[in-house]
Amino acid sequence: MIGVGKMKQYSNVLDKPLSKGKQEVSLTAFAFLFSELVQYNQTQVDNIAELERRLEDAGYAVGSRVLELLCNREKGNRRETRLLGILSFVHSTVWKVLFGKVADSLEKGTEHEDEYMISEKELLVNRFISIPKDMGTFNCGAFVAGIVKGVLDNAGFPAVVTAHFVPIEGQQRPRTTILIKFADEVLKREARLSQ
Amino acid sequence: MAPVTPRSGDAIFSSIDRVNAELFTLTYGAIVRQLLTDLEEVEEVNNLLDQMGYNIGIRLIDEFLAKSGVSICVDFKETVEMIAKVGFKMFLGVTASVTSWDADGTCCSIILEDNPLAEFVELPDTCQGLYYCNVLSGVIRGALEMVSMKTEVTWTRDVLRGDDAYELQVKLLKQVAEEYLYKDDE
């Protein structure tokens, strides 16, 4: 049989050539896996905040790896050093690779200088999720918020990232907004760099 | 209604919604990492991964049957072939082959040529006892249980442990006759 038992051996995972990232798996497979992630974490916590934090942690691990992978593959070993550059990297490159599309919108917060929002009408991880009434404001998007935080943190842009449901008029399902609040030092550095 | 003819794994895979395999790989990695931090023994992690797979398997079989158009498989042999040819392709986009049947047709091996779960993975020395992809064995066990087959699924070869392929041994323990749960007058 062709191919059987011929899988090439590498002594080290880093010797293996980097895949092009075109491979796909079924959405169902991912949805089931994600549901197991959420269910498992539900058994480990007492409250919603804790659950969101754990999902964020899981996402963070994904984000830090995605940054490394994409900087290497898509950007020729360079990474963004400016605020808008890294935001558009998250909104376009990261989103496109992970979710197959560019995020619906990227906006600057109107009330605070240090806030930015990435919104998605139907976030992939929320697609098959409905939140029971007793779980209040819980949002599985915490996982994606974690991914964003992982990317930003490791690129040198520490930020607090949270996921929120925002109702849209005339639509049954709310959209998900990922709110990014950058740390002071990031804004100060940015101001210095723009001079 | 015209009988539905079974579709090939490729045809199904190209017609359903898909996501990037790297998201899937990294998410799975995040799960394994959480389990390793939360639990003390690698053995417990193996068990929990298998349990997660089982939970997935018992639900995944519905989608498999609905989308593949597969009707009743005549025997265990055909069932395993179906998992390898259609199941793996349909959910993970990879092909698998079935070999090493024993004489009475109740035990065989599924060999994976490609395994999206294990991309980017290397086991550190502290995790040598880990069956990283144990979720897969749980999925197969869970799915088969829903079609009345009690099985035992174990890893016999694992690239992450230095073998040359991913090989799962599937052993049929018992074929449970299907029972009608409700009495007619209820």
How far is the C-alpha of A89 from the C-alpha of B110, rounded, in Å?
Answer: 41
- B165 in a domain, yes or no? yes
Nearest to A61 among B23, B33, B35 (CB): B33
| pLDDT higher at B181 or A34 | A34
In a domain, B132, yes or no: yes
Name the residue ranges covered by the structural domains of chain A: 27-194
Put simply, the answer to whether B116 touches A7 (Cβ < 8 Å) is: no
**Main-chain dihedrals φ then ψ at residue A39, nearest 5 degrees:** -60, -40
CA distance B49 to B40: 14
Q: What's the mean per-residue pLDDT of chain B? A: 86
pLDDT-derived band at B2 (thresholds 50, 70, 90) equals very low
Instruction: Report, as an integer, the average pLDDT of B92-118.
Output: 88
Q: How far is A150 from B82, CA to CA, in rounded Å?
A: 40
A100/B contact by beta carbon, under 8 A: yes
User: Burial of A193 by CB count in 10 Å (0-12 exposed, 13-18 middle, 19+ buried)?
Assistant: exposed
Domain around B123: 41-175
State the fold for domain A27-194.
Muramoyl-pentapeptide Carboxypeptidase; domain 2 (3.30.1380)
Q: Look up residue B47 and give its amino acid.
A: N
Residues 21-60 of chain B whose Cβ lies under 8 A from any Cβ of chain A: 21-24, 26-31, 33-35, 38, 48, 52, 55-56, 59-60
pLDDT interval class at A11 (50, 70, 90) = low
- CA distances to A95, B46, B62, B64, B65 from B58, rounded to whole Å, are 31, 19, 8, 11, 12
Note the pLDDT of residue B40: 83
Residue A150 clears pLDDT 90, i.e. is over it: yes
Is B6 near chain A, with CB under 8 Å? no
| Number of domains forming the structure of chain B | 1
Do residues A159 and A152 touch, judged by C-beta distance below 8 A? yes
Check whether A4 has a pLDDT greater than 70. Answer: no
What is the spatial distance between Cα B169 and Cα B137, in angstroms, rounded to a whole number? 9
ipTM over 0.90: no
Q: Is residue B88 part of a domain?
A: yes
Q: Round to whole Å and give the CA distance between A120 and A106.
A: 9
- Please give the torsion angle defined by the CA atoms of residues A102, A103, A107 and A113, in that order, rounded to the nearest 10 degrees: -100
Exposure string over A41-64, b if 16+ CB within 10 A, otherwise e: beeeeeebeebbebbbbbbbbbbb
Amino acid at A103: A
Residue whose structure tokens are 């049957």: B65
**Residue B117 within a domain:** yes
| pLDDT at position B1 | 45
Give the whole-number percent of chain A exceeding pLDDT 70. Answer: 94
Question: What is the per-residue pLDDT across A69-126, written as a single tens digit (0 to 9) for each?
Answer: 888 888 777 888 888 889 999 998 899 888 888 988 898 888 888 899 999 888 888 8
Distance (Å, whole) CA B119 – CA B114 = 9
Does the distance separating the beta carbons of A36 and B52 come in below 8 Å?
yes
* CATH code (residue B109): 3.30.1380.20
- What's the confidence (pLDDT) of residue A34? 92
Would you give the DSSP letter of residue B70? -
Decide if A193 touches B, using CB distance below 8 A.
no
Using the Cβ of B159 and the Cβ atoms of chain A, whether some distance falls under 8 Å is answered with yes
Q: Please check the confidence at residue A181 and state whether its pLDDT lies above 80.
A: yes
Which residue from A23, A66, A124 is facing B116, i.e. has the nearest CB? A23
